[in-house]
Amino acid sequence: MSSHLYSNIGQLVTNDPALGGGILGVLDDAALLIEDGRVAWVGANSYAPAADQRTDVGGAAVIPGFVDSHSHPIFAGDRANEFAARMAGESYSAGGIRSTVTATRAASDAQLEANLLRLATEFRASGITTFEAKSGYGLTVEDEARALEIAARHTAETTYLGAHVVSPDFAGRADDYVALVTGDMLQAAAPHAKWIDVFCDRGAFDVDQARQILEAGIAAGLQPRIHANQLENIGAIALAVELDCASADHCTHLTHADIDALAGSNTVATLLPGAEFSTRSPYPDARRLIEAGATVAIATDCNPGSSYTTSMPFCIAVAVREMRFTPAEALWAATAGGAKALRRSDVGNLAVGARADFNVLGAPSFIHLAYRPGVNLIKQTIVGGLA
């Protein structure tokens, strides 16, 4: 059993409120002992136990690794021109997904995996230590299954999103496509997926279709999550709560009743600041969600259309500046909140027993993540105790 002590931590965020220091469980002048890839001890620097190895972080802040609970990193091509057109006044629509579908189908497995690896490397560089990955740019039995097979080589959090939009091969035959998504495609995808997701929104799937799709996934052993009300409120939140989805994502358009329903449920509201930023859309009402007591996560939504960012610090900065999260709320949402959205308790915190996934910042305080936007403050990332 080898042990490694990280000492002289100016500010340690544990997300363990039992340690004091508010919801973030912040300890000043702290140390962190890692044994066998797990947190074995946290406490005052002056009481730090002996260890086989010791790293003095020189007063830096240490935070849990970010948990990105929503990304679409298995695709080919990009949509830079669509972004430029949007910045010149065009609006975002679900239809853009189909151009990525064409490029993704044409790509080889090796190309798709290389692109995923490139994005996973970027995730890691931005301090993300756990990421979820959705399919959804294949929309055939074979293309959805291969996307998930590739994703499962790189993350345990794989999500079947055959119901991203109606496949172009099924134009005008949405019901037939739903039958495929809940039938042969589900059977091919399920062995490689943990979650099932559906884009329940204008231009994608309505609430009845989404219910059918999620229920089929649940029957096949997958756990539900949902893209809810990004473009319009079509009633997706009530469905999310009804089916006990782990997460309702986007939540750009919410009624007061939606907010109360989320607050009274086990469904996390996952907000995606990169999507509103990159589609120039109004931001969701994060303050109301937080004040009502809903559990809120922040994720990158990394995808080539609506949010082509892999940077969690960027998302935190936007959440603070534009959505009025406090810096502490935003950090919690990007770590513990993301873990809750994936129904995980072993990541997103640095309590004793948690996986030793953490970031040493090039800053004395986590506030700098929002205070110094666009600056790379992720000095070192440790995953499972390994640098």
Judged by CB under 6 A, the residue of 10, 96, 337, 348 near ligand NIG is: 96
Owner of token pair 């948690």:
354
Give the three-state DSSP class for 35.
Answer: strand
Q: Which is nearer to Fe ion, 143 or 301 (CB)?
A: 301
Provide the CB-side half-sphere exposure for 76 (13 A, CA): 17
Q: Which is nearer to Fe ion, 75 or 177 (CB)?
A: 75
Cα(243)–Cα(195) distance, integer angstroms: 13
CB of 304 to Fe ion, least distance (A): 11
Identify which range of 95-103, 146-154, 234-242, 285-293 contacts ligand NIG by CB under 6 A: 95-103
- Examine residue 278 and tell whether it contacts ligand NIG (CB under 6 A): no
User: In sequence order, what are the beta bridge partners of 67?
Assistant: 130
Judged by CB under 5 A, the residue of 276, 301, 329, 357 near Fe ion is: 301
Contact partner, 275, from ligand NIG, Fe ion, none, Cβ < 5-8 Å per class:
ligand NIG
State the residue number with the nearest CB to Fe ion: 301
CB-CB contact of 280 with 326 (8 Å):
no
Cα(374)–Cα(16) distance, integer angstroms: 28
Spell out the alpha helix ranges (H) of 190-285. Answer: 207-219, 236-242, 256-263, 273-279
* Residue 308 to residues 78, 275, 279, 312, Cα–Cα distance (Å): 9, 8, 11, 12
Cα(199)–Cα(332) distance, integer angstroms: 26
Q: Which is nearer to Fe ion, 7 or 126 (CB)?
A: 126
Judged by CB under 6 A, the residue of 138, 162, 273, 305 near ligand NIG is: 305
Contact partner, 366, from Fe ion, ligand NIG, none, Cβ < 5-8 Å per class:
none
Q: Which is nearer to Fe ion, 146 or 225 (CB)?
A: 225
CB of 78 to Fe ion, least distance (A): 16
Judged by CB under 6 A, the residue of 155, 159, 230, 265 near ligand NIG is: 230
> What number of chain residues touch Fe ion (CB under 5 A)?
1
CB atoms within 10 A of CB 269: 30
Cα(217)–Cα(178) distance, integer angstroms: 12
In the 3-class helix/strand/coil scheme, how is 5-16 assigned residue by residue? EEEEEEEEECCC
Judged by CB under 6 A, the residue of 7, 69, 306, 381 near ligand NIG is: 306
Nearest Cα to 210, choosing from 242, 163, 250?
163
- Examine residue 68 and tell whether it contacts Fe ion (CB under 5 A): no
Judged by CB under 6 A, the residue of 24, 26, 30, 97 near ligand NIG is: 97
Q: Which residues bind ligand NIG (CB under 6 A)?
A: 72, 96-97, 100, 199, 227, 230, 275, 301, 303-307
